[in-house]
Amino acid sequence: MSLLEISNLHARVAAPGGRDILKGVNLTINAGEVHAIMGKNGSGKSTLAQVLAGRETYEVTDGTVLYDGRDLLELSAEERAREGIFLAFQYPVEIPGVSTRYFLKAAVDAVRKHRGLSELDSAEFLDIVRQKMALLKIDHSFISRAVNEGFSGGEKKRNEIFQMAVMDPRLALMDETDSGLDIDALKIVANGASTLRAPDRAILVVTHYQRLLNYIVPDVVHVMMDGRIVKSGDKSLALQLEEKGYDWIEKEVAASTAALA
């Protein structure tokens, strides 16, 4: 059974007269795989990640999403998180006055409670945190600082990857984790994410650029255009896109649509 099965997913902005953004997405991801979704600005790739995470500013109008065989769309955002879905944000949010440590402890305990486990005591929690920090080479001062407050762009993204490591998700959604990073920061973040590859975990990477995929090598690359996945292939597709841009795919799609009509 696949970990994630998206069929004919349609979604729009949840407001009167809201724009349609997803227009029939089909995508299947198995545990252990890394998938990349590429596409131009406005193609709907970030929206897909947010809809999967349960953002209520989008409304699903059609289609189904099965997560581990269950109807994902029935679950609230926090339930999805507790069931093992993690969204690494494109623009991580600041929570002034709340330490990263306190925030993460609340998160981990919420997940544990959901799974019928007791809350971690501080020592157990710190053990896990230290281990993940060592793995991702993150400075210890990180956890005493307020969540993302005063963090540089690179630090914010590293914090996302760090949280992802601590939360230990089954499905990790990385929403343009590479945006706004210089090449050094990109390497650190991407290598960190790539260490989180695991046989029981699937990773969906949403990105503009091929360069991130040098570090997190995808099993499958998808191209999204106008709210649909229009082409899928192996990692060479990403290289082709880098070289030739998106125009040739647009032409291909136009040709096949014309042929169908």
Partner 1 sequence: MPTETTEIESLANQAYKWGFVTDIAADSAPPGLNEEIIRFISLKKGEPDWMLQWRLRAYAHWLNMTTPHWARVTYPPIDYQATIYYSAPKPKKKSIDEVDPELLAAYEKLGIPLNERAALAGVEVAVDAVFDSVSVATTFKEKLAEAGVIFCSFGEAVREHPELIRKYMGSVVPYSDNYYATLNSAVFTDGSFCYVPKGVRCPLPLSTYFRINAKSTGQFERTLIVAEEGASVEYLEGCTAPMRDENQLHAAVVELVAMDNATIKYSTVQNWYPGDKNGRGGIYNFVTKRGACRGINSKITWTQVETGSAITWKYPGCILQGENSVGEFYSVAVTNNHQQADTGTKMIHIGRNTRSTIVSKGISAGFGQNTYRGLVKVLKAAANSRNYTQCDSLLLGDKCGAHTNPYIDVRNTTSRVEHEASTSKVGEDQLFYCKTRGIALEDAVNLIVNGFCKEVFRELPMEFAVEAQKLLSVSLEGSVG
Span interacting with partner 1, options 70-78, 119-127, 226-234, 251-259, rule CB under 8 A: 70-78
Among 27, 45, 48, 89, binds partner 1 (CB under 8 A): 89
Span interacting with partner 1, options 97-105, 201-209, 212-220, 221-229, rule CB under 8 A: 97-105
Write the DSSP string, 53-111. Answer: HT-TTEEEEEEEEEETTEEGGGS-HHHHHHTTEEEE-SSPPPEEEEEHHHHHHHHHHHH
In the complex, least distance from residue 33 CB atom to partner 1, rounded to whole angstroms: 21
Site string for partner 1, 24-63 (x = CB under 8 A): -----------------------------xxxxx------
In the complex, least distance from residue 109 CB atom to partner 1, rounded to whole angstroms: 9
Among 107, 120, 128, 253, binds partner 1 (CB under 8 A): 107
Q: Which residues of 144-155 are buried (b: 16+ CB within 10 A; e: fewer)?
A: ebbbbeebeebb
Q: Which among 4, 5, 60 is positioned nearest to 227, based on CA atoms?
A: 60
Is 136 in contact with 165 (CB distance < 8 Å)? yes
Neighbours of 224 (CB within 10 A): 23
Could you tell me how many residues of this chain bind partner 1 (CB under 8 A)? 36
Q: β-strands 228-233, 4-13: how paired?
A: unpaired
List residues near partner 1 by CB under 8 A: 14-15, 53-57, 76-78, 80-82, 85-87, 89, 91-98, 102-104, 106-107, 110-111, 114, 146, 163, 167
